[in-house]
């Protein structure tokens, strides 16, 4: 058999180095890269460059001595994290609150999206979507302020309890430690359920309608259709959002918790975010606060990686 004779075009393509190929591809798609450039610069300047400051977690940092003049202490601050009983209590508060949010706040938009998906009146459906989505645009200051107005001792909730239910003494919703966690969960659900519902409604739009028609032909009722068609159809979206949520399991939301904290609920309400604020800003223990922040990031990375690995083992796509 005769060997193929190399042409000039194939010879020139073979002569191009890998570096030149990359450069040619970048030049070909240069306008797309220009569109990406502002977002890329944002992450580099405000996300990656500040990570260099994590070096103070390994130093006895002093603002007067700077990075280069501060004494190196190695993993000394990380040892304090596991030796300090206050950190253990704060860590437990954070994990417990995150567990409650995953248990109650995470499924709430799934349930609401499924309920809205069953609504056939489009005007009513869009009206409900708008109403539940509006709180997402409110800041936590406004959300907590509304709860303070309604739940204070002379607020409307206590008025209703006294007039219609015979309560003689106002209920201390804002100072009683037992109400702290339920109020946090209610605030998260009320504020963020609309945003999560939009994501799951978009996932529901991708479910094949022929599956519902086939289920109806087989005699399946609405609950059976939801269980065997709707939920499996959005399972991938649920898994991805759950993985991302696990990555923030030690991030309970500083602003909301900080606004709800007071001297009465500090024991069960102080979480890692607020603890870092009190230690790092108020007590100027910058190195220890940074070590706690690094610890949070490492735990989040491990949880995301582990959850992603497990999801792939069960046949899901995961996030990478």
193-216: per-residue pLDDT in tens? 999 899 999 999 888 888 888 888
Contact 268, 179 (CB under 8 A): no
Domains of the chain, first to last: 1-74 (no CATH), 85-313 (1.10.3720.10)
DSSP class per residue in 276-312? HHIIIIIS--HHHHHHHHHHHHHHHHHHHHHHHHHHH
User: By C-alpha distance, which of 287, 299, 301 is closest to 53?
Assistant: 287
Q: Which pLDDT band, with edges at 50, 70 and 90, does 320 fall under?
A: low
Residue 289 has a pLDDT of 86
Give 65's DSSP letter: T
pLDDT band at 14 (very low <50, low <70, confident <90, very high): low
User: The whole model's pTM is what?
Assistant: 0.82
Give me the pLDDT at residue 319, please.
67
What pLDDT, on the 0 to 100 scale, is given for residue 212? 86
Digit-coded pLDDT (tens) for 51-106 = 888 899 999 888 888 888 888 998 888 888 888 888 889 989 999 999 999 999 99
Which residues sit opposite 72 in a β-bridge? 59
Q: List Cα–Cα distances, 166 to 26, 142, 155, in angstroms.
A: 73, 31, 16
Q: Give the pLDDT confidence score for residue 257 in this predicted structure.
A: 94
SS (H, E, C) 239-273: HHHHHHHHHCCCCCCHHHHHHHCCCCCHHHHCCHH
pLDDT at 187 over 90: yes
Mean pLDDT for the chain overall: 87
Nearest to 197 by CA among 153, 241, 157, 167: 241
Rg of the chain on CA atoms, in Å: 27
């Amino acid at each position: 058999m005769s060997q193929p004779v190399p042409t000039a075009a194939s010879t020139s393509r073979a002569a191009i180095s890998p570096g030149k190929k990359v450069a040619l591809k970048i030049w070909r798609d240069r306008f797309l890269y220009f569109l990406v450039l502002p977002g890329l610069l944002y992450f580099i300047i405000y996300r990656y460059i500040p990570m260099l400051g994590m070096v103070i977690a390994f130093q006895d940092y002093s603002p007067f001595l700077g990075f280069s003049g501060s004494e190196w202490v190695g993993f000394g601050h990380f040892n304090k994290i596991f030796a300090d009983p206050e950190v253990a209590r704060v860590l437990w508060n954070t994990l417990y609150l995150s567990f409650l949010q995953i248990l109650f706040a995470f499924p709430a938009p799934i349930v609401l999206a499924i309920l809205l998906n069953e609504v056939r009146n489009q005007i009513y459906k869009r009206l409900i979507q708008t109403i539940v989505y509006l709180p997402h645009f409110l800041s936590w200051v406004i959300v907590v302020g509304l709860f303070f107005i309604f739940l204070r001792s002379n607020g409307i909730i206590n008025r209703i309890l006294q007039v219609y239910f015979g309560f003689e003494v106002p209920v201390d919703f804002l100072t009683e430690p037992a109400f702290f966690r339920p109020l946090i969960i209610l605030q998260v659900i009320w504020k963020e359920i609309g945003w999560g519902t939009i994501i799951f409604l978009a996932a529901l739009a991708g479910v094949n309608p022929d599956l519902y028609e086939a289920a109806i032909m087989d005699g399946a009722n609405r609950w059976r259709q939801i269980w065997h068609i709707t939920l499996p159809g959005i399972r991938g979206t649920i898994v991805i959002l759950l993985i991302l949520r696990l990555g923030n399991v030690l991030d309970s939301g500083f602003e909301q918790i900080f606004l709800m904290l007071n001297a009465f609920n500090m024991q069960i309400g102080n979480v890692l975010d607020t603890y870092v604020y009190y230690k790092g800003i108020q007590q100027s223990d910058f190195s220890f606060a940074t070590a706690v922040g690094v610890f949070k990031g490492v735990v989040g990375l491990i949880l995301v990686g582990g959850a992603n690995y497990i999801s792939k083992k069960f046949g899901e796509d995961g996030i990478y």
